Amino acid sequence: MQKCISVTKMYMHFKLKLFLIFIYFFISGHAPWGQHEVYRQMHMLVMCSKKDDGAFDFTKNVKIIFDEYLPEAKARVARARDSERLVNLLITNQIPLAIISNNLLKKLTNENTENFKNLLEHAKILYSFESMILIVNHDFPKDYMGQIIESLDEASRNSHNIVKFVKKNNLSIDYDTLVYKKIKF
- pLDDT tens digits, residue range 61-75? 999 999 999 999 999
Q: What angle do CA 150, 156, 157 make, to 5 degrees?
A: 90
* pLDDT value for 21: 74
Strands (E), 37-154: 45-49, 76-80, 97-101, 123-128, 132-137
Q: Whole-angstrom Cα distance, residue 134 to residue 46?
A: 9
Among 125, 161, 133, 116, which Cα is nearest to 59's? 133
**Could you tell me the pTM of the whole model?**
0.78
CA distance 89 to 137: 10
In tens, the pLDDT along 26-36 reads 665 554 556 65
The average pLDDT across 9-14 equals 69
User: What sign does the dihedral 30-139-70-60 (CA atoms) show?
Assistant: positive
Answer for the pair 3, 10: CB distance below 8 angstroms, yes or no.
Answer: no
Per-residue pLDDT at 10 exceeds 90 = no
Does residue 149 contact residue 178 with C-beta atoms inside 8 Å?
yes
User: Residues near 164 by Cβ (< 8 Å), separated by ≥ 6?
Assistant: 129, 130, 156
Whether the per-residue pLDDT at 42 is higher than 80: the answer is no
Residues making up the chain, counted from first to last = 185
Asked if 167 and 185 touch (Cβ cutoff 8 Å), the reply is: yes
Ranges of each domain in the chain: 1-30, 35-182
Tell which CATH architecture fits domain 35-182: 3-Layer(aba) Sandwich (3.40)
For position 36, what pLDDT does the model report? 59
Span 104-159, pLDDT tens digits = 988 888 888 888 888 888 899 999 999 999 999 999 999 999 999 999 999 999 98
pLDDT of residue 60: 96
pLDDT of residue 142: 93
Confidence check: pLDDT of 4 > 60: no
